[in-house]
């Protein structure tokens, strides 16, 4: 099958094998208790139970951005073959990866002036950039011009909704998303914040729910309020080793929009290190974020 351009994403895209056709993945590196780990992006073979169980048992995962040199060495062979590139990046609001990719694109454009390289700031992570990569690969298969595809994907970004809740606020506290006092009180009172990626790509809280069941119902309420009735609606659910909750969320989504395709997968380890075990996220095209 021929493609009009090459789509790149990285391990944060969270995509299962059936959604990876036409997408080249860049591995993510992280440390687990200071031991280097490489995540290829193969979510189907990621042992989410073992990873999140390690976090439950006190192991610490640390991540770092993908650097400019990595992007240059990854993109250059594709450009040398005369192909154009679109890379769907995790949010610039939570990582320096987008900026590293942008710098690499600028430098490579000078080296390959006849080629087109576009970096999409997804303002998201996990399925929040994975769905955009999936859409980009579909456009490439359909032969859409790379510049037109770049425009369409940038226009999709404000509609890429991503709402999630977490099991333990202490993981968010470590990344500065909530204060230490707020996380302690929240855990004691069983407060479950509903968080989302805003229009700047930062993770913010929008609702506070009391208890896990109410948090899941609130995710569904957000979906019901925001979901767009479009032919290419992609609903994805990721979870931090809590499949039963993910399946319950799927069933509630299907009550709102019967027949819509829903993909469930473990939440990848790169951003999973920051949201922790029992994270539950819902991703879809919405009227607005």
User: Comparing C-alpha atoms, which of 239, 91, 208 is closest to residue 158?
Assistant: 91
Residues contacting residue 49 through CB under 8 Å, at least 6 positions apart: 241
What is the CB neighbour count within 10 angstroms for residue 189?
11
User: Comparing C-alpha atoms, which of 76, 162, 70 is closest to residue 111?
Assistant: 76
CATH architecture for segment(s) 6-157: 3-Layer(aba) Sandwich (3.40)
Report pLDDT digits (tens) over 226-257. Answer: 999 999 899 999 999 999 999 999 999 999 99
Q: Kindly state the percentage of the chain with pLDDT values over 90.
A: 81
For the chain, the straight-line distance linking the first and the last C-alpha, in angstroms and rounded, comes to 34
Residue 262, strand partner residues: 235
Of 90 and 197, more confident: 90
Q: Where are the domains of the chain?
A: 6-157, 159-285
Question: Is the pLDDT confidence value at 181 over 80?
Answer: no
Classified as helix, coil or strand, 261 is coil
By mean pLDDT, which of 40-44, 73-77, 174-178 is the weakest?
174-178
Average pLDDT, integer, range 196-222: 90
Reported as a pLDDT band with limits 50, 70 and 90, residue 176 is: low
Average pLDDT, integer, range 112-129: 97
Residue 203, strand partner residues: 197
Cα 253 to the chain's mean position, in Å? 19
Asked if the 159-285 domain carries CATH number 3.40.50.700, the reply is no
Average pLDDT, integer, range 257-278: 95
Reported as a pLDDT band with limits 50, 70 and 90, residue 31 is: very high
Query: Which structure tokens are listed for 140?
Result: 């490439």
Of 184 and 273, more confident: 273
Question: Is the pLDDT confidence value at 184 over 50?
Answer: no
The DSSP symbol for 213 reads H
């Amino acid at each position: 099958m021929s493609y009009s351009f090459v789509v790149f994403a990285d391990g944060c895209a969270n995509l299962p094998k059936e959604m990876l056709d036409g997408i080249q993945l860049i591995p993510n590196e992280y440390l687990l208790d200071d031991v280097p780990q490489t995540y290829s992006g193969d979510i189907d073979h990621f042992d989410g139970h073992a990873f999140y169980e390690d976090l439950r048992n006190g192991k610490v995962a640390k991540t770092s951005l993908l650097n400019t040199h990595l992007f240059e060495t990854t993109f250059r062979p594709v450009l040398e073959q005369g192909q154009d590139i679109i890379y769907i990046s995790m949010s610039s609001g939570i990582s320096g990866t987008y900026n590293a990719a942008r710098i690499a694109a600028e430098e490579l454009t000078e080296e390959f002036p006849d080629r087109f390289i576009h970096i999409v700031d997804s303002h998201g992570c996990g399925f929040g950039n994975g769905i955009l990569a999936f859409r980009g690969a579909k456009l490439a298969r359909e032969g859409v011009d790379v510049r037109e595809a770049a425009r369409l994907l940038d226009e999709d970004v404000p509609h890429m909704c991503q709402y999630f809740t977490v099991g333990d606020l202490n993981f968010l506290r470590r990344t500065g998303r909530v204060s230490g006092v707020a996380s302690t009180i929240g855990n004691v009172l069983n407060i479950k914040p509903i968080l989302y990626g805003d229009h700047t790509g930062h993770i913010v809280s929008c609702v506070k729910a009391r208890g896990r069941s109410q948090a899941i119902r609130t995710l569904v309420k957000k979906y019901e309020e925001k979901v767009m009735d479009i032919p290419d609606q992609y609903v994805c659910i990721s979870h931090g080793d809590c499949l039963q909750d993910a399946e319950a969320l799927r069933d509630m989504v299907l009550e709102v929009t019967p027949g819509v395709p829903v993909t469930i997968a473990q939440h990848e380890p790169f951003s999973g290190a920051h949201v922790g075990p029992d994270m539950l996220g819902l991703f879809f095209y919405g009227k607005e974020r």
